């Protein structure tokens, strides 16, 4: 009973995250981190008394846990002010000269923002860990995906209704940005597109799984067609959700979100073929999905198509911002400017001709390098990369259920490619959904014997 309560509480948390402006406000991301921490503590207590499962031992995850601990520990050191004064960021000397008095500095330009950022990172880590422990069973994993797809579909439907009805609102607030785009409960259309893309991956994967089961041991074209029709007729709600999410994605008008989703979808289809069963059927699925995507684009993609043809100005401005960010990194390439300090540091280097408020770098890897230093940014990225590699290995090692780790790899392709041109991974609702999928895929990447027999080779995450 305790285990089931924890599982459904985790699903509720993931489904809730997008509701209050994608949890991208101080009060909402603080609440999200608090709920994640409380849920993790509840699981830890229940596991200690053997009332909740702990199928994945900490020692199996050390290649992922260690760099994350080092990265977050470094962020804490940056904000602590315990380092020698001669290592303080140059911005403190500039501020002291302007105020004509010495200041107690730190490696971090904005220590309070660093502690806030750490709180958010620990919240995402909690979601990953809970998914790793609570989604081990096949039915649990499938239920988790169904709930995520349903919640994404509901938010997509809400976004479509809000936009097409002309209300131009987010919940009960009047929209103040992207008035001509579907944004659902999000403010930023690009971040909403990334979130919708994750839901689209999950819905497609569930259909792929059902199709593989339907075509298994089905020789002959006639029987394959018959079973395919039966499968589609039995998954009408899932098909409807997929169509709603895809339509909302196109009506966000997000070029980067659409491109990243295509990258993730291509990865999912390629990896699905790696399970050796139903390869011909998968080719048929790919053709059907491609045809459906083209049809949806012709019906609903006018906005995105227009923006794809007008991308030049935006790319030039972002290229200039990337160059400014690179110059800022050069001032502290090893030590960094502190987690959450990008906004303040960028303004010190922003030239007059680069107009606009650049609160984000629109390139998460560059922004991490500016804030944590290049080594710290690498440490923060490494756990994600290693977990994704573990999932990739699981796709080919598992005889059944390889689609679950494939989803995690495809989701990594999606968010990882979008992070090259925008900041969706810095939006809590997107990060929570991704951490959830990565944890679910990671736990499913182990074969049953890997966890039951610790001495077997290949059981740990890649190190």
pLDDT, tens only, 386-424: 999 999 999 998 877 889 999 999 999 999 999 999 999
Q: State how far the alpha carbon of 103 is from the alpha carbons of 25, 98, 112, in Å.
A: 30, 11, 16
Alpha helix segments (H runs only) across 419-460: 428-445, 448-452
Alpha carbons 159 and 179: distance in angstroms, whole number: 12
pLDDT score recorded for residue 455: 36
Residues in the chain: 463
pLDDT score recorded for residue 335: 94
Sign, CA dihedral 288-291-294-300, equals negative
- Highest average pLDDT, of 242-251, 279-288, 395-404, comes from 242-251
pLDDT score recorded for residue 183: 94
How many other CB atoms sit within 10 Å of the CB of residue 333? Answer: 12
pLDDT, tens only, 20-56: 899 999 999 999 999 999 999 999 999 998 888 889 9
- Rounded to 5 degrees, φ, ψ at 170 are -120, 110
pLDDT score recorded for residue 273: 66
pLDDT score recorded for residue 51: 85
pLDDT score recorded for residue 245: 96
Q: What is the DSSP string of 153-217?
A: HHHHHHHHHHHHTT--EETTEE--S-TTS--TT-S-HHHHHHHHHHHHHHHHHHHHHHHHHHHTT
- Rounded to 5 degrees, φ, ψ at 173 are -105, 145
Q: What angle do CA 392, 395, 401 make, to 5 degrees?
A: 140
Closest C-alpha to 24, from 434, 427, 357, 435 = 427
pLDDT band at 454; cut points 50, 70, 90? very low
DSSP single-letter state for residue 87: G
Closest C-alpha to 145, from 395, 412, 389, 404 = 404
Residues 342-356: what's their mean pLDDT? 87
Q: Which one has a higher pLDDT value, 174 or 309? A: 174
pLDDT score recorded for residue 458: 44
Residues 310-325: what's their mean pLDDT? 74
pLDDT band at 319; cut points 50, 70, 90? confident
Give residue 105's region: left, alpha or beta (phi > 0; psi -120 to 50): beta
């Amino acid at each position: 009973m305790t285990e089931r309560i924890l599982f459904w509480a985790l699903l509720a948390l993931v489904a809730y995250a997008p509701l209050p402006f994608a949890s991208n406000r101080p009060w909402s991301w603080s609440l999200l981190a608090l709920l994640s921490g409380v849920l993790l503590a509840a699981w830890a207590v229940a596991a200690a008394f053997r009332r909740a499962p702990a199928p994945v031992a900490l020692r199996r995850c050390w290649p992922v846990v260690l760099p994350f601990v080092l990265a977050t520990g470094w962020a804490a050191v940056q904000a602590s002010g315990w380092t020698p004064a001669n290592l303080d960021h140059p911005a403190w000397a500039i501020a002291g000269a302007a105020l004509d008095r010495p200041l107690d500095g730190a490696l971090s330009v904005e220590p309070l923002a660093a502690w806030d950022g750490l709180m958010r990172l620990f919240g995402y880590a909690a979601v990953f860990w809970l998914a790793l422990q609570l989604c081990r069973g096949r039915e649990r994993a499938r239920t988790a995906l169904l709930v995520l797809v349903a919640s994404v579909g509901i938010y997509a439907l809400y976004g479509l209704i809000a936009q097409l009805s002309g209300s131009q609102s987010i919940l009960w607030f009047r929209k103040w940005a992207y008035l001509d785009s579907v944004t659902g409960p999000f403010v930023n259309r690009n971040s909403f597109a990334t979130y919708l893309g994750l839901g689209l991956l999950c819905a497609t994967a569930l259909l792929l799984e059902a199709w593989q089961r339907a075509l298994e041991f089905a020789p002959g074209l006639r029987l394959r067609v018959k079973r395919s029709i039966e499968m589609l007729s039995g998954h009408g709600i899932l098909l409807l959700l997929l169509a709603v999410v895809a339509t909302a994605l196109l009506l966000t008008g997000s070029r980067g979100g659409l491109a990243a989703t295509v990258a993730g979808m291509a990865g999912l289809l390629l990896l699905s073929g790696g399970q050796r069963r139903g390869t011909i059927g998968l080719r048929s699925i790919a053709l059907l999905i491609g045809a459906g995507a083209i049809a949806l684009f012709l019906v609903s993609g006018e906005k995105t198509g227009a923006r794809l043809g007008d991308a030049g100005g935006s790319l030039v401005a972002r290229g200039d911002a990337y160059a400014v960010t690179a110059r800022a990194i050069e001032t502290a390439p090893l030590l960094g400017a502190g987690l959450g300090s990008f906004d303040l540091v960028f303004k010190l280097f922003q030239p007059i001709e680069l107009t606009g408020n650049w609160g984000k770098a629109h390139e998460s890897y560059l922004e991490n390098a500016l804030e944590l230093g290049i080594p710290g940014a690498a440490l923060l990225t490494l756990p994600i990369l290693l977990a994704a590699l573990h999932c990739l290995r699981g796709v080919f090692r598992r005889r059944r259920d390889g689609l679950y780790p494939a989803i995690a790899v495809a989701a990594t392709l999606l968010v990882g490619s979008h992070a090259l041109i925008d900041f969706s991974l810095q939006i809590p609702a997107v990060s929570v959904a991704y951490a959830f999928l990565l944890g679910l895929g990671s736990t499913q990447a182990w074969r049953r014997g890997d966890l039951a027999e610790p001495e077997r080779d290949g059981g740990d995450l890649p190190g």
